């Protein structure tokens, strides 16, 4: 596919890169593959996705602890609004994860879930404990078999 695209570009690097950017990633069978986009909360504004993962939803990370950058105090209300932006980017499924322990500067530190998670009503949450099997069976049952595996 790359050689064909290079031939079509006729040696023009800009044209080659534009062509790559516009080409859908397709397998030999013609199936369109999925892709993963990693975005900050800020960059996600105005976008929507079928599935959204928010990782590191722990106090000190989301919301930020202390200050970020020089002379910039963290505004808790702005942090809450940004978390809301991230949560509302999900059209179908939202996964929020956090850990009980994290290694920070070589030391194991106990962590707490973000206060923003505890603000979400239990009626709209499905809590999955690692190792419990969670709802993997339900997800596997409804998975589209035409989806190409990522790994």
- Asked if 40 and 20 sit in the same domain, the reply is no
- Asked if 101 and 41 sit in the same domain, the reply is yes
pTM score, whole prediction: 0.61
Let me know if residue 149 belongs to a domain. Answer: no
Q: How far apart are CA 109 and CA 101, in angstroms?
A: 5
- Asked if 74 and 113 sit in the same domain, the reply is yes
> What pLDDT is attached to residue 150?
54
- Asked if 24 and 50 sit in the same domain, the reply is no
The b/e string for 91-125 (b: 16+ C-beta within 10 A; e otherwise) is eeebebebeeeeeeeeeeeebebbbbbeeeeeeee
**Tens of pLDDT, residues 62-111:** 877 654 455 566 788 888 999 999 999 999 999 999 999 999 999 999 99
**Tens of pLDDT, residues 22-67:** 555 554 445 566 778 888 898 999 999 999 999 999 998 887 765 4
Number of folded domains that form the chain: 2
């Amino acid at each position: 596919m790359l050689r064909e695209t290079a031939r079509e570009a006729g040696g023009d690097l800009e044209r080659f890169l534009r062509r790559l950017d516009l080409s859908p990633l397709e397998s030999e069978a013609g199936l369109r593959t999925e892709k993963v986009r990693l975005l900050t909360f800020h960059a996600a504004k105005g976008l929507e996705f079928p599935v959204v993962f928010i990782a590191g939803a722990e106090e000190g990370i989301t919301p930020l602890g202390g200050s970020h950058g020089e002379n910039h105090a963290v505004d808790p209300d702005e942090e809450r609004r940004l978390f809301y932006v991230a949560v509302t980017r999900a059209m179908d499924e939202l996964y929020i994860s956090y850990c009980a322990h994290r290694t920070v500067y070589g030391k194991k530190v106990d962590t707490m879930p973000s206060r923003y998670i505890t603000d979400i009503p239990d009626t709209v949450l499905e809590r999955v404990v690692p190792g419990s099997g969670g709802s993997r069976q339900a997800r596997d049952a409804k998975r589209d078999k035409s989806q190409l595996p990522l790994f």
